[in-house]
Amino acid sequence: MTVFKPGNLVVLKSGGPVMTVDAVNTDIFDDNKVTGIVCVWFVGEKLQRVRFGQDAIEPARLQKTSSRRRKARLEEVAGEYKMVLDEMVTAMNTPADTGGISSEVAERPESAKTVVEQPETAPASKDVAA
């Protein structure tokens, strides 16, 4: 019988998604007697966690990809990532055309711009004490 450990990849013998062994439950009096295997997997973004009997699961058979195909895929992903980074750098280094004024203020019509006027100062009084 297969010995499962946390972290092993498994599938149900009847089929289904590849799951990860989360815990191996044993008998309270006998650590060598497995009472269940707790497996986890995702359905979309939702984590699923279920306990299965040891006889219901088997090790997952992983497909081996050729190193040439794997390397080509890595280069493709790296190229896509570099393209996104280049676009970000270009966007960050594009100079603003507004000469230091935010584009929101620069695009407002002249009548909508706020003008702050300074109050006039009163003339000094000419009262002279005699």
Residue 49's H or E segment, with its range, is strand 46-52
| Residue 19 within any structural domain of the chain | yes
At residue 82, the pLDDT reads: 77
**51 in the same domain as 71:** no
Spans in the chain with pLDDT lower than 70 = 1, 64-66, 96-130
At residue 58, the pLDDT reads: 94
**52 in the same domain as 17:** yes
| Residue 127 within any structural domain of the chain | no
At residue 61, the pLDDT reads: 86
CA dihedral 15, 16, 19, 25 (to 10 degrees): -60
**82 in the same domain as 55:** no
Q: Name the residue among 80, 34, 73 with its Cα closest to residue 57.
A: 34
Q: Which residues of 86-102 are buried (b: 16+ CB within 10 A; e: fewer)?
A: eeeeeeeeeeeeeeeee
**53 in the same domain as 69:** no
CB 10 within 8 A of CB 37: yes
**53 in the same domain as 79:** no
| Residue 113 within any structural domain of the chain | no
**52 in the same domain as 23:** yes
The radius of gyration of the chain's CA atoms, rounded to the nearest angstrom, is 36
Residues 124, 126, 129, CA angle at the centre, nearest 5°? Answer: 130
At residue 122, the pLDDT reads: 61
Assigned token pair, 45: 């973004």
At residue 19, the pLDDT reads: 94
| Residue 123 within any structural domain of the chain | no
Give the single-character DSSP code of 110: G
At residue 14, the pLDDT reads: 92
58: Cβ–Cβ under 8 A, 6 or more apart, which residues?
2, 10, 11, 13
Assigned token pair, 7: 């972290």
- State the amino acid at position 30 in one-letter form: D
Which residue range forms the structural domain that includes residue 29? 9-59
**13 in the same domain as 46:** yes
